Chains A and B, each alone.
Chain A
Amino acid sequence: MFYLSLFFQYASQYLKTRLTYRADTVIEILSDLLFQAVNLIFILVVFRHTAFLGGWNRDEIIFIYGFFLVPYAIFSSFFNIWDFNDRYIIKGEMDRILTRPVHSLFQIILERIELESLFGAVTGLLVMGYSIVNLGLTFTWYDVLLFIVMVFGGAFIYAGIFISIASIGFWSDSRTDIMPMMYNISNYGRYPVNIYNKVIQFVLTWILPFAFVGVYPASYFLNREEWYGYAFFTPVMGILFFGIAILLWNAGVKKYRGAGN
């Protein structure tokens, strides 16, 4: 309960700061929207020249992209730890965090919250809506529940991977470029994994499971039964990767000695 009230206090403070610089916030949301539009335009233009992409048609690919946007929006609103090493370890901010009686990761999540990214989820729902109408898909009441479970599964996979990488900072404070590399690899997850070769498919499924954020869970809602096994595995992978990340983080905090001075 204490954690929940902390969350709301941080969130309301955050909204106050964002509303002070209103123009900047609006431009940021618009540029996010533009970025999402670019990916959509890419899909639309490409499908003028082909009917299928690895056996998936235009509207299915659009659905996968729309689905991907929802967990991704949750991830980028709450897990902005891509600059953890610079901001907390090298600048020594971690020391301040550790003196407080709240779990360190939770504090960092609260400090780096970026609620405006949640607009991406709205875009995602609209994109999915467009494709659902075109494909004439129908859903039952429990599909809504499954959707929520899978979205959180996907967001936790993203969070797990990025928290694990941030934890490396506890052992080595030298600059690494793994973070930007990971963002680029995650782009592979936006498209059906069957277009890649076997090695990349394996990596995207079991090692850096970005496929569980897009194509696998989306295939359940697209009634692609050949992928159901993977689809239902999404929440399991989410819990697994997030769990590993927390363990790594806690081990890292124990190991943490500060960056000097």
Chain B
Amino acid sequence: MSMYLEMIRVRFLMMLAYRTNYYSGILIYSINIGAYYFLWSAIYGGKEEIQGLSVAQMTTYVAVAWMARAFYYNNIDREIAAEIKDGKVAIEMIRPYNYLGMKTMQALGEGVFRLLFFSVPGMIIVALIFPVRFDANFTTWIFFFISLIFSFIVNTYINLLTGIMTFFLFNNSGLIRAKRVVIDLFSGLLLPISFYPDWAQNLMSYLPFQAISYVPSMIFTEGFTGEEIYHALLSQAVWVVILLIPIRLLWSQAKKHLIVQGG
């Protein structure tokens, strides 16, 4: 266990050493939030609310969704793909820890770093420019953080799955890109799931993606209330368990399948 904590710490310190790289990231996220802020203001026009969300809630939704993304987002799929390609994965596999566990811990170190040095200052800046509301009550914040942890796990699992696919596809940069686009759309980052037509909402309820962005953002903006919150958190927890199965299966297949290219 302490070994894995150490991995979190090392990745955190590594990110800390390059922290200036992240100031521009905050600016980039603010630019994106700004674009969607104006877009949504124009979409609302004079309307009071759309699908139960007011303009103020929508602005907050967009800001929270992007800043939460800073926490759950990571590139371990790319890292795994690179390590498989240059053969480093063979060395990692004989080391006395679980390779996928290590990757998850590195992702967590990165996530915690981004949460503290990116999301928090980013949120303050965004709140100064745009009418974002942070007056959510204490229990809402608690639920938000619980769902944020689930969203990190679900997203990381999907990244692990994408990374492991490199064992079978050899070059999966296309798949990695496609996965990113799919997550942006179906996770609720760009559009709240409730805006989609019913058949699409139905379809998406069978997919893990809304556990990544839609659930935490809706909890924070209080678009979910009472029972809905528990249902949403439960669905996230279910995905955390279900996604473990394909990871286990593919990983045991991958170990048999390993071909080190070059190396």
Contact = CB atoms under 8 A, between A and B. Distances in A.
A34 B175 contact: no
A49 B190 contact: no
Which of under 10, 10 to 19, 20 to 34, or 35 or more describes the interface residues of A?
Answer: 20 to 34
A229 interface: no
A53 B178 CA distance: 29
A34 B180 CA distance: 10
A214 to B, nearest CB: 13
B120 interface: no
A30 B176 CA distance: 12
Contacts of A181: 24, 27-28, 31
Most chain A CB atoms below 10 A, which of B25, B39, B51, B182: B39
A41 B174 contact: no
Interface in A182-203: 184-185, 187-188, 191, 195-197, 200
A42 interface: yes
Contact of B45 (A48, A50, A175, A200): A50
B171 A24 contact: yes
Contacts of A227: none
Contacts, number: 84
B42 interface: yes
Contacts of A48: 195, 197
A200 B181 CA distance: 27
Contacts of B184: 38
B50 interface: yes
Contacts of B32: 184, 187
B24 A49 contact: no
A31 B195 CA distance: 24
Contact of A30 (B27, B47, B178): B178
B195 A46 contact: yes
Contacts of A185: 31
B171 A21 contact: yes
Interface string A222-237: 0000000000000000
A41 B204 CA distance: 15
Contacts of B175: 27, 31
Interface residues of B, number: 34
Interface string A53-73: 110000000000000000000
Nearest to A49: B50
A187 B38 CA distance: 12
Interface string B44-56: 1101001100000
B82 interface: no
A177 B42 contact: no
A42 B191 contact: yes
Given A177-B21, A195-B39, A45 B178 contact: no
Contacts of A35: 177, 181
A31 B181 contact: yes
Interface of B: 21, 24-25, 27-28, 31-32, 34-35, 38-39, 41-45, 47, 50-51, 171, 173-175, 177-178, 181-182, 184-185, 190-191, 195-197
Interface of A: 21, 23-24, 27-28, 30-31, 34-35, 38, 41-42, 45-46, 48-50, 52-54, 175-177, 180-181, 184-185, 187-188, 191, 195-197, 200
Enumerate the 8 nearest inter-chain pairs by beta-carbon distance, A residue then B residue, closest first.
A27-B174, A177-B24, A195-B42, A31-B178, A31-B177, A49-B50, A38-B185, A184-B31
Given A24-B174, A177-B25, A181-B28, 5 more contacts: A28-B173, A31-B175, A38-B190, A187-B35, A195-B42
